[in-house]
């Protein structure tokens, strides 16, 4: 009988050492590589020179990393990069740190992307909690110097000092309908001579549609595909001076009203304002129709909401229809919808294959490596993309960049056995993670989409943060260009519903009449 050869202990120890070192190196190189950024020890307030240095850094970083410059040229007819000297003048003219902050945000707003903005002092603490742990994002958000800088900015921008008119307007069928009083919700626009349901005709003598075009530095403008024009779903007029509004009342009377601006009444907040869960439900047992409202996919509620949603789905498993309402849902985490909604409602794997394109930039690499891990080693040049037949220059001006496939896939997780029809209600507030849900539901046939075109920019990963070296402010932006399965840009074409339905002017007038009677 042959004896087994024994491996010397020294060789075993060497092998274990090699495995450990290799694992550490792979982790460091692909999971949490170092992000290259600098935060100076600044003595506030900022000097003009420091403000300009911060803007120059921001401009250079966006020039090298931002994915949507060509898209925005097609959408808006504007070349953001060509406006550099105009932006420099705007920054140089700021007289305070607060003004610098607001001008910076206005400049970024011209990029018209909901993932591109300065992280506000009020949002910083939540952002730093979400991006905790050993990740490239945490390196930026939880840097001690950044945290110290935001302690200063929280004193500079304690509360909103913006003034606004005491009437807001809602976009309905191509028109703007007087809706509420954003200054004091306890009062009505009618108290200022503009009855609810009045149609906005002019703002300081400018037609409403032309006025909307002037708001690109303040609002993310949506696009009304049916009527071929830019729009704002909820129009609040920010101003520090009186404004003359031309309106037509529900009875057809033309009125010209000059309104004075005011600061909004600050509502008191408390821990009780934090909801126990996000979702809400309704059931019509006789009709066999259930309704599930999901106003957000917040990462903080992925675990909290799961059990309650599953319990509801089990209750309605024998219903013939389920309506899932994600209108006004601005996103959050894809895990929320994948784990809590789709997994219990499918008995087979569902998947949507799409693409992400990245600029050829050193700064992006730590973030891409973290998200793709070993798939980072399989990145391809964008000229290898076979979807849609478009040239690399269609996506990026220099035609240079990297491509990866992204699969949004969901496996069944103890499915509840629902066999009815699923309908997904959408609108153009649907953005980011809720946009990826809409695109997934349509592409896989999991649900029928009903509503208006969505908001887009839902394919890809978390926005990339950069730190401005003097102010310590974090600016975030999309690190990738998400492409639909056919190669179109999701930020540009969004997701078109299977059945297009929008609120009508008559719907709103009926609602106001019922409320007035009540």
Over residues 65-78, the mean pLDDT reads: 94
Under the banding of pLDDT at 50, 70 and 90, the label for residue 23 is: low
pLDDT (tens digit per residue) in 3-15: 555 556 666 666 6
Asked if the model's pLDDT at residue 234 lies above 80, the reply is yes
Q: Which fold has domain 164-263?
A: Pdz3 Domain (2.30.42)
On the 0-12 / 13-18 / 19+ scale of CB atoms within 10 A, 516 is exposed
Quick one: pLDDT at residue 1?
A: 47
* Average pLDDT taken over every residue of the chain: 92
List CB contacts of 158: < 8 A, sequence separation 6 or more. Answer: none
Every domain of the chain and the residues it spans: 48-156, 164-263, 280-500
Quick one: pLDDT at residue 100?
A: 98
pLDDT (tens digit per residue) in 298-325: 999 999 999 999 999 999 999 999 999 9
- Backbone phi, then psi, for 314, in 5-degree steps? -70, -35
Asked if the model's pLDDT at residue 31 lies above 70, the reply is no
Over residues 272-279, the mean pLDDT reads: 83
Asked if the model's pLDDT at residue 28 lies above 70, the reply is no
Asked if the model's pLDDT at residue 216 lies above 90, the reply is yes
| Dist CA 368 CA 392 (whole Å) | 20
Lowest mean pLDDT, pick from 160-169, 204-213, 409-418, 458-467:
160-169
Q: Is the pTM of this model over 0.95?
A: no
| DSSP tag of 198 | P
Q: Is the N-terminal amide bond of 490 cis, ω within 30° of 0?
A: no
Quote the tokens at residue 448. 């029928």
Quick one: pLDDT at residue 25?
A: 58
Angle between helices 48-65 and 97-109 (to 10 degrees): 20
Asked if the model's pLDDT at residue 395 lies above 80, the reply is yes
DSSP E strands, 186-300: 199-203, 206-207, 222-224, 229-231, 234-238, 243-248, 254-259, 280-284, 289-293
Quick one: pLDDT at residue 239?
A: 95
Quote the tokens at residue 139. 């390196």
Residue with more model confidence, 512 or 55: 55
Over residues 58-82, the mean pLDDT reads: 96
Q: Which fold has domain 48-156?
A: Histone Acetyltransferase; Chain A (1.20.920)
Q: Which fold has domain 280-500?
A: 2-enoyl-CoA Hydratase; Chain A, domain 1 (3.90.226)
pLDDT (tens digit per residue) in 276-292: 999 999 999 999 999 99
E strand or H helix that includes residue 350: strand 350-358
Quick one: pLDDT at residue 7?
A: 54
pLDDT (tens digit per residue) in 324-369: 999 999 999 999 999 999 999 999 999 999 999 999 999 999 999 9
């Amino acid at each position: 009988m042959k004896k087994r050869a024994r491996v010397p202990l020294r060789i075993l120890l060497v092998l274990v050492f090699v495995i450990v070192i290799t694992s550490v190196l792979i982790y460091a190189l692909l999971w949490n590589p170092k992000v290259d950024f600098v935060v100076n020890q600044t003595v506030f307030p900022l000097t003009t020179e420091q403000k300009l240095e911060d803007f120059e850094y921001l401009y250079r970083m966006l020039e090298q990393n931002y994915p949507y410059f060509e898209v925005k040229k097609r959408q808006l007819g504007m070349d953001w990069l060509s406006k550099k000297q105009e932006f420099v003048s705007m920054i140089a003219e700021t007289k305070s740190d607060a003004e610098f902050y607001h001008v910076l945000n206005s400049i970024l707003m011209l990029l018209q992307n909901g993932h591109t903005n300065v992280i506000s002092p009020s949002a910083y603490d939540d952002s730093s909690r979400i991006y905790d742990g050993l990740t490239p994002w945490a390196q930026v958000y939880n840097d001690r110097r950044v945290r110290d800088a935001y302690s200063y900015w929280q004193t500079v921008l304690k509360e909103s000092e913006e003034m606004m008119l005491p009437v807001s307007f809602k976009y309905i069928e191509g028109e703007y309908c007087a809706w509420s009083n954003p200054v004091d919700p306890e009062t009505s626009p009618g108290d200022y001579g503009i009855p609810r349901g009045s149609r906005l005709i002019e703002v300081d003598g400018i037609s409403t549609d032309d006025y909307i075009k002037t708001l690109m530095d303040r609002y993310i403008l949506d696009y009304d595909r049916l009527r071929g024009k830019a729009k704002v779903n909820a129009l609040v007029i920010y101003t520090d001076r009186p404004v003359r509004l031309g309106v037509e009342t529900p009875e057809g009377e033309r009125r010209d009203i000059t309104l004075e601006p005011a600061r909004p009444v600050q509502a008191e907040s408390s821990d009780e304002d934090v909801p126990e869960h996000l979702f809400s439900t309704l059931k019509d047992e006789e009709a066999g129709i259930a309704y599930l409202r999901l106003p957000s996919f917040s990462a903080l509620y992925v675990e909290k909401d799961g059990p309650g949603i599953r319990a509801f789905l089990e209750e309605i498993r024998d219903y013939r229809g389920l309506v899932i309402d994600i209108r006004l849902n601005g996103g959050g985490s894809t895990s929320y919808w994948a784990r809590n909604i789709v997994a219990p409602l499918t008995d087979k794997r569902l998947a949507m294959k799409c693409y992400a394109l990245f600029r050829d930039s050193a700064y992006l690499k730590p973030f891409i490596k973290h998200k793709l891990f070993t798939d980072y080693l399989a990145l391809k040049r964008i000229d290898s993309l076979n979807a849609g037949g478009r040239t690399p220059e269609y996506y990026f001006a220099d035609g240079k960049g990297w491509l990866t496939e992204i699969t949004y896939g969901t496996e069944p997780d103890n499915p509840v056995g629902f066999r009815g029809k699923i309908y997904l209600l959408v609108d153009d507030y649907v953005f980011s993670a809720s946009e990826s849900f809409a695109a997934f539901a349509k592409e896989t046939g999991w649900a029928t989409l009903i509503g208006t075109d969505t908001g887009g920019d839902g394919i890809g990963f978390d926005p990339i943060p950069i730190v401005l070296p003097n102010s310590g402010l974090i600016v975030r932006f999309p690190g990738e260009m998400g492409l639909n399965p056919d190669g179109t840009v999701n930020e540009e074409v969004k997701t078109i519903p299977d059945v297009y339905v929008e609120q009508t002017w008559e719907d709103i007038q009926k609602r106001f009449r019922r409320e007035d009677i009540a």
